[in-house]
Structure 1
Amino acid sequence: MKYFSVLSLIIFQIQLLRAQEIKYVLNNETTEIKFLSNNTAHILKYQGTHAPVKNDLIVLNIQDAGLKTSVKKTDTSLIIQSSVLMIELNKSNGIISFFDKNKNRLLAENKTEQQFQKIDDSVMHISQSFSLSSGEAVYGLGQHQNGKMSQRNQTILLKQRNMDIAVPFLQSTKGYGIYWNNYSATIYSDKQNVMNLTSEAGNCVDYYFIAGKNADEIIDNYRKLTGKAPMFPLWSFGYIQSRERYQSQEEVVDVVRKYRALKVPIDAVVQDWQYWGSDSHNWNSVQFDNPNYPNPAAMIDSVHAMNAKIMISVWPSFGEKSAIYKEMEQKHFLFDFPTFPVNNGVKVYDAFNPQARDVYWKYMNRNLFSKGIDGWWLDATEPEQQKTDNTHEPDTFNTSVIKNAITYFGNYKTYNNAFPFESVSGVYHNQRNTTSDKRVFILTRSAFAGQQRASSMVWSGDITASWQTLKDQIPAALNYSLSGMPYWNADIGGFFSGTNYPKGNKDLLYQELYLRWLQFGVFTAMMRSHGTNTPREIYQFGKPGDVAFDVIRKYIGLRYRLEPYIYSAAWAVTSQNASLMRALIMDYPQDKNVYDLGTEYLFGNSILVAPVTDSIFAKNASALDTVSTVTTKIYLPEGDWYSFNTNEKIAGGQWINQSSTLSQMPLFVKAGSIVPLANEAQYSSIQNFKTLEINVYPGKDATFELYEDEGDNYNYEKGKYSIIKFNWNDKNRTLTIDAGKGSFNGMPKHHFFKINVVELNKKKAVEYNNAEMVVQF
Structure 2
Amino acid sequence: MTRVARHAAMGFLMVAWACALASSAGFAQGWHHISNVQHVERLKDAVQLTAGAAKVRITAFRDGIFRVRLAPNGNFAKDYSWAVVESPAPPTVKVEENANEVRITAGDVTVSAQKSPLLINFSDRAGNALLADEPSLPMAWDGPQVQVWKKMPEDENYYALGDKAGPMHRRNRAFTNWNTDAFGWQESSDPLYKTIPFFIGLRKGVAYGVFFDNTYRSSFDFGKEGRNYFSFGAEGGELNYYFLAGPEPRKIVEQYTAMTGRSPLPPLWSLGYQQCRYSYYPESRAREIVKTFREKKIPADVIYLDIDYQQDYAPFTINRRYFPTFEKMISDFRAQGFHTILITDLHIKKDPNHDYAPYDSGIKDDVFVKNPDGSIFVGKVWPGDSVFPDFTLTRVREWWGSLYKEFVSMGVAGFWNDMNEPSVFFRADQTMPLDTVHRLDDGTTIDHRAAHNIYGMENARATYEGLRKLQDGERPFVLTRAAYSGAQRYAATWTGDNSGTWNHLKMSTPTLMSMGISGMPLVGDDMGGFSGSPPAELLTRWFEVGALNPIYRDHTAKGTADQEPWVHGPQQEAIRKHYIEVRYRLLPYLYTAIEEASRTGIPLMRPLFLEYPQATEFYGDDRDFLFGRDLFVAPVTTEMVDPEDISLPPGDWYDFWTGAKHPHSEKLQLRPRLDEMPLYVRAGAIVPMQPVVQYTGETPDGPLQLRVYPGEDCSGSLYEDDGHTFAYEKGEILRIRYSCAASSSSVTISSSVERNAYKPWWNSTALTVYGAAAAPKEVRVGERVISDWRFDSQAHDVTFTVPDTLRNWSAHLQY
Match of 1:157 among 176, 179, 186: 176
Computing the radius of gyration from Cα coordinates, the structure with the larger value is 2
Partner of 2:103: 79
The aligned residue for residue 407 of structure 1 is 438
Give the deviation of 1:82 after TM superposition: 1.8
Q: How far off is 1:740 after superposition? A: 4.8
Q: 8 Å contact 1:459–1:491 — kept in the other structure?
A: yes
2:468 is the alignment partner of 1:424:
no
| 1:661 match | 673
1:531-575 CA distance string (max 9 Å, x none): 021222233333xxx211111111111110110110000011112
Quote the residue 2:49 is aligned against: 24
Q: 1:552 to 1:686 in 2, by over 3 A?
A: closer
1:385-419: CA deviation from partner (whole Å, max 9, x where unpaired):
4434xx655xxxxx8x5222111241111121111
- Matched residue type, 1:420: G
TM-score if structure 2 supplies the norm length? 0.85
Q: Which residue in 1 is equivalent to 2:710?
A: 698
Residue 305 of structure 2 corresponds to residue 271 of structure 1: yes
- Matching of residues 273-672 of structure 1 within 5 Å: 273-277=307-311, 279=312, 283-321=313-351, 322-330=356-364, 331-334=366-369, 341=381, 344-365=384-405, 367-388=406-427, 393=430, 401-408=432-439, 409-454=445-490, 456-498=491-533, 510-532=535-557, 533-542=560-569, 546-615=570-639, 631-653=643-665, 655-672=667-684
**753, 756, 763: which one pairs with 2:769?**
756
Structure 1 residues 152, 759: closer, same or farther in 2, change over 3 A?
Answer: farther
**Counterpart Cα distance in 1 of 2:543 and 2:379:** 32
Moved more, 432-441 or 527-536: 432-441
The one-letter amino acid paired with 1:187 is: S
Task: State the secondary structure of the residue aligned to 1:380.
Answer: coil
Query: What is the distance in 1 between the residues matched to 2:169 and 2:264?
Result: 29
User: Deviations for 1:276-312, whole angstroms, at most 9, x for unmatched residues?
Assistant: 12x3xxx333121342222322111101111221111
The C-alpha deviation readout for 1:128-178, integer Å capped at 9, x for no partner, is 111121101000111112x21210110111111235222100011141101
Does the CA-based 8 Å contact 1:156-1:187 persist in structure 2? yes
Opposite residue 155 of structure 1, the aligned amino acid is A
SS at match of 1:316: coil
- Classify the secondary structure of the residue corresponding to 2:200: strand
Instruction: Give the drift of 1:5.
Output: 8.9
Return the TM-score normalized by structure 1.
0.89
Please state whether the residue corresponding to 1:683 is helix, strand or coil: coil
Deviation at 1:69, TM superposition (A): 2.3
Q: CA separation in 2, counterparts of 1:107 and 1:421?
A: 30
- Residue 506 of structure 1 corresponds to none
Displacement of 1:436 after TM fit? 4.7
Structure 1 residues 31 and 135: alpha-carbon distance in aligned structure 2, compared to 1, 3 A threshold: same
- The structure-2 alpha-carbon separation of the partners of 1:342 and 1:680, relative to structure 1 and needing over 3 Å to count, comes to closer
Cα distance, 1:53–1:730 mapped onto 2, change above 3 Å? same
SS in 2 for 1:494: coil
Give the residue type in structure 2 aligned to 1:272.
Answer: D
Question: CA 1:689 to 1:451, structure 2 compared with 1: closer, same or farther past 3 Å?
Answer: farther
Cα distance in 2 for residues equivalent to 1:324 and 1:113: 51
Q: Is the 8 A contact 2:262 2:519 kept in 1?
A: no
On the 8 A contact 2:700/2:761 being kept in 1, the answer is no
- Please show how residues 151-300 of structure 1 align to structure 2 within 5 Å: 151-162=170-181, 164=192, 165-173=194-202, 174-191=206-223, 192-202=227-237, 204-277=238-311, 279=312, 283-300=313-330
- Per-residue CA deviation, residues 622-653 of structure 1 (Å, 9 max, x unaligned), is xxxxxxx6522222122111111222212214
* Residue identity in the other structure for 1:776: H
CA distance in 2: counterparts of 1:659 and 1:337, whole angstroms: 57
TM superposition shift of 1:602: 0.4
Q: Which residue of 1 aligns with 2:739?
A: 727
Q: Note if contact 2:591-2:719 (Cα within 8 Å) is conserved in structure 1.
A: yes
Q: Indicate if the aligned counterparts of 1:753 and 1:766 stay in contact, CA closer than 8 A.
A: yes
The whole-number CA distance in structure 2 between the counterparts of 1:75 and 1:4 is 10
User: Does 149-158 or 690-699 show the bigger shift?
Assistant: 690-699
Question: How far apart, in 2, do the equivalents of 1:239 and 1:314 lie?
Answer: 21
Q: Which residue of 2 aligns with 1:105?
A: 129
Deviation of 1:747 after TM superposition, in Å, equals 3.4
Measure the CA separation in 2 of the matches of 1:686 and 1:74.
Answer: 69
SS in 2 for 1:706: strand
Is 1:736 matched up with 2:750?
A: yes
Give, in whole Å, the separation in 1 of the partners of 2:296 and 2:133: 61
Distance 1:655 1:229 in 2: 37
Higher mean displacement: 637-646 or 56-65: 56-65
Matched residue SS, 1:416: helix
Partners in 2 of 1:323 and 1:416 — Cα distance?
A: 26
Give the distance between the partners of 2:302 and 2:383, measured in 1 at CA. 34
Q: Secondary structure at the match of 1:142?
A: coil
Deviation at 1:107, TM superposition (A): 0.4
Shift of 1:239: 0.8
Map of 1:126 onto structure 2: 146
Q: Which amino acid aligns with 1:402?
A: P
**Identical-residue share of aligned pairs (%):** 25
| One-letter amino acid of the structure 2 residue matched with residue 32 of structure 1 | R
Distance 1:730 1:686, change over 3 A: farther
Residue pair 1:99, 1:106 contacting (<8 A) in 2 also = yes
The CA distance in 1 between the partners of 2:425 and 2:47, in whole Å, is: 45
Aligned partner letter, 2:47: I
Q: Kindly state the Cα deviation for residue 606 of structure 1 after the two structures are TM-superposed.
A: 0.8
**AA partner of residue 445 (structure 1):** R
Using the alignment, how far apart are the partners of 2:361 and 2:247 within structure 1? 52
SS of 1:763 mapped into structure 2: strand
Aligned to 1:621: none
Which one-letter code corresponds to 1:379 in the other structure?
D
Q: Which residue of 2 aligns with 1:708?
A: 720
Contact 1:637–1:654 (CA<8 Å) still a contact in 2? no
Residues in 1 aligned to 2:768 and 2:754: alpha-carbon distance in whole angstroms: 17
| Cα distance in 1 for residues equivalent to 2:361 and 2:667 | 61
| Conserved? CA contact 2:37–2:50, under 8 Å | no
Amino acid aligned to 1:763: T
Quote the Cα distance in structure 2 between the aligned partners of 1:450 and 1:468: 30
Tell me by how many angstroms 1:6 deviates: 4.5
The count of corresponding residues between Structure 1 and Structure 2 is: 719
User: 1:445-504 CA distances to partner (integer Å, 9 max, x unpaired)?
Assistant: 1221011111x1111111111111111111111111221221210111000124xx5xxx
Structure 2 alignment gaps of length 5 or more: 1-35, 183-191, 371-375, 440-444, 774-796
C-alpha contact (below 8 Å) 1:686/1:709 kept by paired residues:
no
For the residue of structure 2 that corresponds to 1:458, the secondary structure is: strand
Contact 2:648 2:666 in 1 (8 A): yes
Q: Which 4+ runs in 1 deviate beyond 6 A?
A: none
Q: 1:103 to 1:477 in 2, by over 3 A?
A: same
Distance (Å, rounded) in 2 between the aligned partners of 1:112 and 1:332: 45
Quick one: which of 122, 127, 138 aligns to 2:158?
138
Note the residue ranges of structure 1 that are not aligned, 5 or more in a row: 119-123, 394-398, 502-509, 617-628
CA spacing shift, 1:563–1:750, aligned 2, 3 Å: same
Aligned pair in 2 of structure 1 residues 96, 274: CA closer, same or farther (>3 Å)?
same
Q: Tell me the SS of whatever aligns to 1:352.
A: coil
Q: Is the 1:312–1:377 contact (alpha carbons within 8 Å) kept by the matching residues of 2? A: yes
Assess, with a 3 A threshold, how the Cα gap between structure 1 residues 314 and 159 changes in structure 2: closer, same or farther.
same
Give the whole-Å Cα distance in 1 for the aligned partners of 2:344 and 2:447. 26
Q: Aligned to 2:492, what secondary structure does the other structure show?
A: strand
